[in-house]
Structure 1
Amino acid sequence: MIDNKYLEVLPFSFPTGVQLVNDPFLNKGTAFTKEERIALGLRGLLPPRINTMEEQVERVMGNYYSKTSDLEKYIFLIALLDRNQTLFYRVLADNLEEMLPIIYTPTVGEACREYVHIFRRPRGIFVSANNKGHFSEILRNWPNRNVKVIVITDGERILGLGDLGVAGMGIPVGKLSLYIACAGIHPSLCLPVTIDVGTNNCELQTDPLYFGMQHQRIRGDEYDSLIEEFIMAVRDNFPSALIQFEDFGNVNAFRLLQKYKDRICMFNDDIQGTASVALAGLYAVMRMNSTELTDQKILFLGAGEAGTGIGDLIVSAMQAEGLSQEDARRKCWFYDSKGLVVKDREHLAEHKLPYAHEHKYICDFEEAVKELRPTAIIGVSGTAGGFTRSIISEMAKINEKPIIFALSNPTSNAECTAKEAYLWSEGRAVFASGSPFEPVHLFGKTFYPGQGNNAYIFPGVGLGVVTTKSRHVTEEMFLEAARTLASQVSEDDFSCGNIYPPLRNIRDVSARIALRVAEIAYDQGLAEVLRPDDLDDFIRSRMYEPVYKNYV
């Protein structure tokens, strides 16, 4: 009744009648054929005329464009996902450049802020501290027993918006949509999870519509025991699943990564995915300028999980190119909310210590730029306006082509806009951002700013891991993902200032990244799937394509 390729992921016996029409996984809406309507008890339950998928897409797009705000577009698309998954992913895959800012950053941030007020129906699994001791039982309530990718958040650091508690569920849902659209992970293999440990957000604590626990966040040993129980519950229920940690606060993100990365198949996208896409941008700049990564000096504005994650991966990349770890770390400098991270500063967080260099303390970022003379500044502060006109002008004095990465999300939190970067550098900046910016017309030229979106990295890494059933996700995989992504930037992209390939190529990019990740899994003895003769063909053959299947 359905292609053999997908038989292994069908979670239940095949429904008929109203049950089939109400099943978003199998529903085809008005596209059910005459034969299917007769055989599956659908006559009279649908309008008589049969539509092609192309006609359905036309109807969807007409409704989509009728919405007057991005949030309304988000709600409309999620409603489509709730009734017809195949059509949703067809629309998304065909319009990814346009819809990525809607289903993910920046609009998903607004959706999370309004989540408890726009709530329609639950998606994924909500694990609460109130259910401690029953996590495995809760996971058994999920209808599909073949889950391969789990994205989990505790809602403490949603994008640049802070603590949103269980309202952060929009992030795992959005991330998994990108796994499906960008890398062809089958929808039935995906599970979004939010673990509710409370919230420190005063507005949510007093909002009568908030449906999470309205007390201060659980910390310490009790928090750790909840995470441990969840990890064990996943092992019991979905033993080969990849777990992606998303939007955890700094107080937990680093130590959970260190605790679990060698125990289970997991990674932290904010630390490792962000690092990989940023490193890919630097690799692309090196190609563009015919320079070497080891010649760069990078100053970070922000020293949280994203910043130090990028720094760590850059250090590993420089070591691979011949530098010692100490020399590579001296190429990376950090400026946090209290000033330049230097050795004499007290009470530095553990993740900052490797980058606390011998230098006088500086409490002004512009002064740090003048003193250190970096080739690149990378903004991961979560605060808008950190790259001022005088700072970018100073970078342009120091460098012929200053590298300006304003990576903070959402768009409203970017350290500078694309237009500001190009204008204040007299059109010489190599710019990338975390959220999208429109093309900029200046100096008789059109600049197309690159978006350092993690969607370039994590779907392909996940595809490679899932396809091979790799037992772990390693640093080498993210290094290779960065190199592979950078290699896909064309001369045409460079000519208009873009250091990332077009999003319309994302499925091919993801497949190429998955191939390199899979090769590493085999080379490191981590894969549990017998290596096929043609690994590239095997990976691409496993990628889900959102088209209707014939049921009879």
Structure 2
Amino acid sequence: MVSRLPVTGVEVVRDTIRYSGVSTPISEREGLGIRGLVPAAFLPLELDVERCMLQMRSKESPLEKYIYLHNIQDVSERLFYAILCKYTSEVMPLVYTPTVGEACQNFSAIYRGTLRGMYFSLEDSGKIRTLLDNWFTSKITTIVVTDGERILGLGDLGVNGMGIPIGKLALYTACGGIDPAKVLPVHIDVGTNNEENLNDPYYLGLRRPRERGQAYDDLIAEFFEAAQNKFGANVMIQFEDFGNLNAFRLLSAWQDKACTFNDDIQGTAAVALAGLLASNRLTGKDLIDHIFLFAGAGEAGTGIAELLALAIAEKGHLPIEQARKKIFLVDSKGLVTKSRLDSLQHHKVDFAHDVDDCPNLLAAIDMLKPTGLIGVSAIPNSFTKEICENMAAHNKIPVIFALSNPTSKAECTAQEAYEWTDGRAIFCSGSPFDPVTLQDGRQRVPGQGNNAYIFPGIGLGVLAAGSTRITNYDMLLAAETLAAEVGPEELDVGCMYPPLSRIRQVSKNIAIAVANQAHETGVATEQRPVDMGKYVESLMYDPFEEVDVHLGSKK
């Protein structure tokens, strides 16, 4: 928590991490100097949560609810996280996807001047290490950084993309128990090519075209080196929503130099793989028995494909090259094949197979007859009735994942996927969809392949072990752990993920597995505890636990 004792009541109120507002016991208010600064009544935290939920539910639009929740966070992080922990399934779609997409589009307009994260631009080159000293603590364990180029499926939003690191770190705390005093959202401002932003008089970022040259790489390198110098060599830095041009190469450049991963590539891959592993319990197939076809070949698509290939190779005792032959990609020019090698981006090359060319997704389905169709194209309605019907014609239980975010970019809806496959599809999505009741009365609950099932547990496991590196084997282990959390109740309604009400337990189990693996592979720097489960649990921030507000520690 915060290391020094505030000296005035006003400072206590402004210490948003620890301040509990009307949930501060009356007996403690005078000693804290806040008597007279808050109303006289005492509301237990549980009751204050209900008061706030009543107000939130009265708001008309998701964006209004988003703003209201973040106004609470600006005053009391404890109350904010108590709301998010108790009402995870209701509030998570407001704090993160899909509402965060609209919040990012309006970021400059709704910006409240709150101290929440740091902003570094090209104009700060050579000064980042000094600027990091402006942050209130050196005890940061977890950073999420974006350059705002590929925000969800919305594209280049520049500084307006800062809503994503803020939202992601809220989930690190709510879902994984990472101390909110030890997280840092970061935006690297290298300009934007979004004309709407550049023409907006209220846009808060650099007004210049996006930097593509050496100055960009130098700024990223300076940030990584400064962060490690300030916060320690094992500070975890998560890449978030970088464009395809930079995402893969930056991950490749830094994954052996820092404790880092790219959530769009690796986190998305792990949560999608978990859904596919869970689906095998309904299809009766092993991964090696499938043919997977991806609609979309960007960082999410090829990230999933690569982790899926690793899983096939490990489980089937195959060379990775042979495992990749079970996976096909369709991009904007059709099926990715060897005949296109000369023009392919590097991240698609390994999935360019020696098969006939197909001009589009439907033609590829007709030729390949895939058992699993995975949408990561950000092209809404691209899984048409004809495509879903073709998947159903080729498979008794077709696997259809429409993973693009936000909801407006989903390849199809849950209702469509079920109706067009006679209710036989296993459907998962990136954004939440409501349960569907079929014409025969059966209920289907679409699983949301939310990265929040993965990255908080990864972060917690890295923290528990003091890991210096994060690998694809960590992601594979996280996916397997998540898949094992899906119970008979979920399978009975076709849901491939556990309920969000259990997400903190899921994160804990992933963290235990990842931390143990870190010790076994030699990348851990912390002493291995006798009971990893108890140790991980001891690290988890819980807003409902009593805290000594004088010392910032659990009572």
TM-score (normalizing by structure 2): 0.97
Per the TM alignment, residue 119 of structure 1 is displaced from its structure 2 partner at its CA by 1.1
The equivalences for 1:60-459 within 5 A come to 60-122=52-114, 123-239=116-232, 240-321=234-315, 322-345=317-340, 346-443=342-439, 444-459=441-456
After TM superposition, where is structure 1 displaced by more than 6 Å over at least 4 residues in a row? none
2:553 matched to which residue of 1?
none
CA contact (8 A) 1:12 1:144 kept: no
* Cα drift, residue 467 of structure 1: 1.3
Conserved in 2, the CA contact under 8 Å of 1:296 and 1:376? yes
Residues 302-321 of structure 1 deviation map (CA, whole Å, 9 limit, x = unaligned): 00000000010011111112
Secondary structure of 2:221's counterpart equals helix
The secondary structure found in structure 2 opposite 1:344 is helix
What is the rounded CA distance, in whole Å, between the counterparts of 2:60 and 2:301 in structure 1?
36
Q: 1:534 to 1:34 in 2, by over 3 A?
A: same
- Cα distance in 2 for residues equivalent to 1:237 and 1:243: 13
Q: Residue deviations 1:347-369, cap 9 Å, x none?
A: 10001000111112111211110
Deviation at 1:516, TM superposition (A): 0.6
What is the SS of the residue equivalent to 2:343? coil
**Mapped partners of 1:245, 1:421: distance in 2:** 32
| Secondary structure in 1 matching 2:80 | helix
Question: What is the one-letter code of the residue matched to 2:253?
Answer: K
- Letter paired with 1:36: E
**SS of residue paired to 1:244:** strand
Distance in 1 between the 2:294 and 2:36 partners?
62
Report the TM-score when normalising by structure 1: 0.97
Please state if 1:13 is matched with 2:10.
no
Shift of 1:12: 3.2
Structure 2, gaps ≥5 residues long: 551-555
Per-residue CA distance 1:469-511 (angstroms, 9 max, x = gap)? 1000011110010000000101110010101000100000000
Cα separation, 1, equivalents of 2:320 and 2:507 = 30
Q: Distance in 1 between matches of 2:530 and 2:24?
A: 38
Query: Residue type matched to 1:324 in 2?
Result: P
Cα drift, residue 180 of structure 1: 0.2
Superposed CA deviations along residues 322-375 of structure 1, whole A, max 9, x for unmatched, are 122222111010000111100111310001000111112111211110100100
User: Which residue of 2 is the match for residue 472 of structure 1?
Assistant: 469
Once the two structures are overlaid, the 10-residue window that deviates more, 423-432 or 357-366, is: 357-366
Alpha-carbon contact 2:18-2:549 (below 8 Å) kept: no
Q: In 2, Cα distance between the equivalents of 1:258 and 1:98?
A: 37
Greater displacement, 241-250 / 40-49: 40-49
Moved more, 518-527 or 15-24: 15-24
Letter matched to residue 233 of structure 1: A
Q: Find the counterpart in structure 2 of residue 5 from structure 1.
A: none
Structure 2 letter corresponding to 1:158: I
Q: Tell me, in whole angstroms, the C-alpha distance in 1 between the residues paired with 2:380 and 2:452.
A: 22
CA distance in 2, matches of 1:332, 1:73: 41
Partner residue in 2 for 1:506: 503
Alpha-carbon separation, structure 2, partners of 1:462 and 1:151: 11
> Residues 15 and 303 (structure 1 numbering): CA distance in 2 closer, same or farther, change over 3 Å?
farther
Taking only the aligned residue pairs, the percentage that are identical comes to: 50
- Please say which of residues 336-345 and 10-19 is displaced more in the overlay: 10-19
2:333–2:360 CA contact under 8 A, matched in 1? no
Please report how far the alpha carbon of residue 181 of structure 1 lies from its aligned counterpart in structure 2 after TM superposition.
0.4
287-296 or 159-168, which moves further after superposition? 287-296
Query: Does residue 43 of structure 2 align to residue 46 of structure 1?
Result: no
Q: Which amino acid in the other structure matches residue 421 of structure 1?
A: A
Displacement of 1:222 in angstroms is 1.3
Of 460, 465, 489, the match for 1:463 = 460
Q: Secondary structure at the match of 1:408?
A: coil
Q: Which residue pairs with 2:538 in the alignment?
A: 541
Deviation by residue 1:26-82 (Cα, 9 ceiling, x = unmatched): 211112223312212222212122221122112101111110000000000000000
Say if 2:88 and 2:501, in contact at 8 Å, map to a contact too: yes
What value does the CA root-mean-square deviation take over the aligned residues? 1.0
In the TM superposition, what is the alpha-carbon distance from 1:144 to its structure 2 partner? 1.3
Report the residue type matching 2:228 in the other structure: R
CA contact (8 A) 1:11 1:145 kept: no
Alpha-carbon distance in structure 1 between the residues aligned to 2:508 and 2:549: 29
1:517 aligns with 2:514: yes
Shift of 1:235: 1.2
Following TM superposition, by how much is the alpha carbon of 1:438 offset from its aligned partner in structure 2, in angstroms?
0.6
Alpha-carbon separation, structure 2, partners of 1:270 and 1:551: 37
Contact 2:292–2:326 (Cα < 8 Å) also in 1: yes
Q: What residue identity is the alignment partner of 1:441?
A: T
Amino acid at match of 2:472: E
Q: How far apart in 2 are the matches of 1:284 and 1:15? A: 53
Amino acid at match of 1:93: C
